[in-house]
Structure 1
Amino acid sequence: MNKNLSEILRFRRHQLGQLIDFPAILWSGISSPRNFPANKYPYRANSHFLYFAGIPLENAAIVLERGNMQLFMDDPHPSNNLWHGAAPNREEIAAKIGADDAKPMTELVEQLTIINDLENIATIPVQDAATWTQQTQILNRFILPQQPLTGRDLELAKAIISLRLCHDDMALIELKKAVNVSIAAHKKGMKVTRAASLEAEIRAAMEAVIISENMTTAYSSIVTVHGEILHNQHYHHAIKSGDLLLADVGAETANGWASDITRTWPVSGKFSPTQKDIYDIVLTAHDACIANIFPGVEYAEIHLLAAKIIAEGLVNLGILRGKPEDLVKMDLHALFFPHGIGHLLGLDVHDMEDLGDLAGYDLGRERSSRFGLSYLRLNRPLLPGMLVTIEPGFYQVPAILNDPKIRNQYQYLVNWERLAQFADVRGIRIEDDVLVTTSGREVLTAALPTKTSDIENLVS
């Protein structure tokens, strides 16, 4: 971030001060040990903390009140220089992020006592157990990530959501950095595919690009020839001629801003006729959804548009029988496109989902129980400054398609013999990051091609 970091952070805190009339405290969290204390998982600061503090401090807390911020953190222990090198002290960090005051963590309880009304202090649970236990002890009430927010905590969450839904200029600078590195990673993955023998080789090449730019992955990468497994964490499979490889890989900047891109390509460099037929259906849905993004448009309508186009395409191929509109009402499309069209993107890849559906669903809305709508992560009218993903797909999920009840229920609506001719299409997803603008949309990931001919050229 540039020299205006402290000004941007002060403005964010000022905005929060205009929305709430009570003090709030946000913790950064701490790293968790892996099997023994000195061997720790990579640390990632809490995103709500990051939004107002700007940098990923560990074991720190900020008290926010009337637009002001007090920073609580300890100076590095003398042994830190030996094991981890020199680090800035508390006062230096406070100056960098524009804190109004900075004190050791030991004085946090004393400061809260001065406020003298623990029930009036709001917070949001941090995911690691050590921190939410500390939150519970200091505030003298249960603070649990799995527990719905109530009272002041709920008011704080709603205020933060209203700020984080639409990105400011500095956030967009960071997000575009992450996007550009992710685009380079995907191009590298395509380039090395024909010489690879394992999924792992392609994943390694893609993540090497991200690491070389001093970034991390925003989530656990999906690089697999088994794209029918939606969140496939395995990458040991052999690459075989005729396979499609699905790569869902996104970079995250050092300050926590995420990207999220998926492409699917033929490992041989050439789509088969059946693969191209299905890919083009998904691409048609993808392009239509992006073309219909405008301020005020309901994101759920974008999802239903994708569902209708996919159903229509499968009818035209002879896989489904019936009118596309009727098939969508019966959730037939969800046999092959079970997830939602996308989600919010920001400081987390699924931005603010630690708050459940508070961020994703507009006031008064609840998740549908319908199979074709129950996995929709975002159900709001679009606003300028929102960054969303558009990611339609087609998957032949064995757990769905081999279920005797489903096959019996839809025996006349699915042409199972025709579907069997598309056995070389396990999973296809095409995902881009789209910024809602005042007049329409900007596809931040547009530099990464989606057309089959362009994909084939990149792989070949």
Structure 2
Amino acid sequence: MNSELKIDSGLCMGPGTHMVPLELFDTNRKRLVDRLKTKNAPKNSIVLLEGGNDVPVHDSDITYLFRQESYFMWAFGITDPGCYGAIEVDTGIAHIFIPKFPAEYAVWMGRILEKDEWRNKYGIENVHYVEDLNNVMNDLKPSTILTLKGMNTDSGLCSKEASFKGIENFNVNNTLLFNEIADLRVCKTKLEIEVLKYVIEISSAAHRKVMRYVSVGKTEYQCESVFLHYCYEVGGCRHVSYTCICGTGHNASILHYGHAGAPNDRKIKEGDMCLFDMGANYYGYASDITCSYPVSGVFTEDQKTIYNAVLNANLAVLSSAKPGVSWADLHILAAKTLLEDLKKAGIVKGNVQEMLKDGVAAIFQPHGLGHLMGLDVHDVGGYLPNNPPRPTHIPGVDKLRTARILEENMVLTIEPGCYFIDHLLDHALKDPNLSKYFEADVVNRFRGFGGVRIEDDVLITKDGAVNLTKVPRTVEEIERWMAGKDDDKY
């Protein structure tokens, strides 16, 4: 490396916010090179990734707030749009390719950075212009260009394969890279874990602030605004990881409430349960936390019954999660624990194992137990070729975003829930095979209740799962916090 190159220390939003060291991305590039060598990548091959571009709002000249493409961010840590990155597999030498802007660009976007400034900002010595990409590749003479092409099993969408004018003149392999880089993103490095801890802690504090803000007469979006303001003002988190879900009353039974057709616009009423699912994002790294509690700050007996059933499922998984355990088995454990408590409450009846087999748990929790988390809130690597396939033997398990065996340094969410969804309850009560398990009168009493979800972000260590989320969780803790107590506990 050039001895005069003065590398910036990392990516940071300013005083009080976390410094993301450039070493994080350098480490990821080294991991990728090492993995590709074990997979017999062709000699003198080059990985080529294309970053994200500004996206216009329909046909206007306004763009959406930019967020970098996740694989590109993982490898290069570049926050600017319109870039490419390359890694020589034999040597690990990295190159970045930046846009070349006309001089008048400075009028609208500020002074145009020189190549040396890009080198310092991102810690990569070899900086070229995008327009020179073909010439640089001709000079490097790669035997193979490895590009990223594969399907995200969460979305069903394909990754963005790098392309440039002249790539057709090179030998391109788009089958080797995807599975390897996706698998590497599953287990986090120590530096990545530090970023995740930071964004989870900021999100936890923001949730705690909302818990003390919420009251009858306020709107759901006002609670959302408190969360967003805290994460940005205190944590430097310009993005959230997904659209905030601020469901109250019946809206708490809508799993992805908060979308454009229902934009967190309900006025909160007396007796409501709140289900607030919100997570900040810091330099691409995600958090994902759900807190459920009564707007009054004091649980009724029915609210306490459902909340504790979900909490028991959450804690059962948390105590059992460790390397070597199947995520699918943990989903079943959560479902079994939930059904046992619902049976004690007189909501369902019959043999719990038979209920599991017939899909009763999926009526109350139609989603999976949780998901991998990292640079995407539903992180990649859930169903790669060498991992367990999507299970189908029990209804509800087929909704899992991964069925992998847990490994050290995975970060996942544990998010069991219990919802009273009219559509699913109506179907179950009309189905002779399902209706026998339900106490219809009791079920109907809970119509309009909404739902409860308790979602924690956890790190898998060699000794088990460590909960990184810092919010009140038991009924007693929630009631004390909402009453203005326990300030020194979190």
- Structure 1 length-normalised TM: 0.89
Which of 130, 134, 147 is equivalent to 1:109?
A: 134
Distance 1:208 1:96 in 2: 28
> 1:318 offset after TM fit, Å?
1.5
State the Cα distance separating 1:390 from its structure 2 match.
0.2
Aligned residue type for 2:279: G
CA distance in 2, matches of 1:401, 1:345: 31
**Cα distance between partner residues in 2 of 1:425 and 1:138:** 60
1:17-28 to 2 correspondences below 5 Å:
17-20=33-36, 21=41, 22-28=45-51
Structure 2 Cα separation of the partners of residues 387 and 457 of structure 1: 29
Is 1:264 the counterpart of 2:301? The answer is no
Residues of 2 paired with 1:138 and 1:241: CA distance?
65
Distance change in 2, residues 1:80/1:320 (3 Å): same
Structure-1 residue corresponding to 2:200? 179
Aligned to 1:59: 82
In the alignment, which of 367, 377, 389 is matched to residue 365 of structure 1? 389
Kept in 1, the 8 Å contact 2:287–2:373? The answer is yes
Task: Report whether the alignment pairs 1:245 with 2:245.
Answer: no
Q: Which residue of 2 aligns with 1:12?
A: 28
| Alignment: residue pair count | 443
- What is the rounded CA distance, in whole Å, between the counterparts of 1:413 and 1:334 in structure 2? 13
Counterpart in 2 of 1:419? 443
Contact 1:340 1:373 in 2 (8 A): yes
- How far the C-alpha of 1:251 sits from its partner, in A, is 0.6
After superposition, the CA RMSD in angstroms is 2.7
> 1:193 touches 1:459 (CA, 8 Å); kept in 2?
no
List per-residue Cα deviations over 1:63-87 (Å, max 9, x = no partner). Answer: 1222221101124443343223335
Structure 2 contact 221–265 (Cα < 8 Å) conserved: yes
Q: 1:345 aligns with which of 369, 373, 378?
A: 373
Cross-structure match for 1:433: 457
From 466, 481, 489, give the equivalent of 1:442. Answer: 466
| Distance across 2 between alignment mates of 1:406 and 1:299 | 32
* Cα displacement (A) at 1:182: 0.3
**Aligned pair partner of 1:396 in 410, 420, 426:** 420
1:191 to 2:217 alignment: no
Confirm whether residue 458 of structure 1 aligns to residue 481 of structure 2: yes
Q: In structure 2, how many angstroms separate the alpha carbons of the residues matched to 1:279 and 1:211?
A: 30
Stretch of structure 1 that moved more, 189-198 or 205-214: 189-198
Native 8 Å contact 2:370 2:400 kept in 1: yes
Distance 2:390 2:247 in 1: 33
- Alignment correspondent of 1:148: none
Distance, in Å, in 2 between the alignment partners of 1:126 and 1:297 is 26
Report the 3-state secondary structure (helix = DSSP H, G, I; strand = E; otherwise coil) of the residue aligned with 1:418.
Answer: helix
Cα deviations across residues 354-394 of structure 1 (Å, max 9, x unaligned)? Answer: xx733xx8525234275321110121111111101000000
The one-letter code of the counterpart of 1:183 is S
2:94 aligns to what? 69
1:235 aligns with 2:264: yes
Partner residue in 2 for 1:162 = 183
Report the Cα distance in structure 2 between the residues aligned to 1:77 and 1:92, rounded to whole angstroms. 17
**Superposition TM-score, scaled by structure 2 size:** 0.84
Whole-angstrom CA distance in 2 between matches of 1:196 and 1:138: 61
Give 1:273's aligned residue: 301
Q: Is the 8 A contact 1:384 1:438 kept in 2?
A: yes
Of 67-76 and 343-352, deviating more is 67-76
Range with greater deviation from structure 2 (82-91 or 48-57): 82-91
Match of 2:236, as an amino acid? Answer: N
Long gaps (5+) in structure 1: 142-150
Please give the per-residue CA displacement for 1:385-414, whole angstroms capped at 9, x wherever unaligned.
Answer: 110100000011222112378544412111
| SS of 1:280 mapped into structure 2 | helix
Identity value in percent: 29
| Paired position in structure 2 for 1:145 | none
Q: Aligned partners of 1:69 and 1:106: how far apart in 2?
A: 18
Residue 424 of structure 1 and its aligned partner are, at CA, apart by: 4.9
Aligned partner of 1:47 among 70, 87, 107: 70
| Superimposed CA distance per residue, residues 96-142 of structure 1 (whole angstroms, 9 cap, x where no aligned partner) | 33324111111113334456679753224799x9x95973876459x
Deviation string, structure 1 residues 197-244 (Cα, Å, up to 9, x no partner): 211111111111112122121111101111111001221111000111
1:334 counterpart residue number: 362
- Are the equivalent residues in 2 in contact too, given 1:343–1:389 (CA < 8 A)? yes
Task: Please name the residue that 1:204 is paired with.
Answer: 225
Contact 2:383 2:403 in 1 (8 A): no
Q: What is the DSSP-based 3-state SS (H/G/I as helix, E as strand, rest coil) of the residue aligned with 2:330?
A: helix
8 A Cα contact 1:294 1:439, kept in partner: yes
72-81 or 379-388: which moved more? Answer: 72-81
* 1-structure distance, mates of 2:23, 2:393: 45
CA contact (8 A) 2:24 2:192 kept: no
**Change in 2 beyond 3 A, CA 1:457/1:138:** farther
Task: State the match for 2:5 in structure 1.
Answer: none
Residue type at the aligned position of 1:81 = A
Matches within 5 A, 1:283-322: 283-322=311-350
1:222 maps to 2:222: no
Judge conservation of contact 1:267–1:459 (CA < 8 Å) in 2. Answer: no
Tell which deviates more after alignment, 318-327 or 178-187.
318-327
Comparing 32-41 and 305-314, the one that deviates more:
32-41
Worse-matched range after superposition: 110-119 or 338-347: 110-119
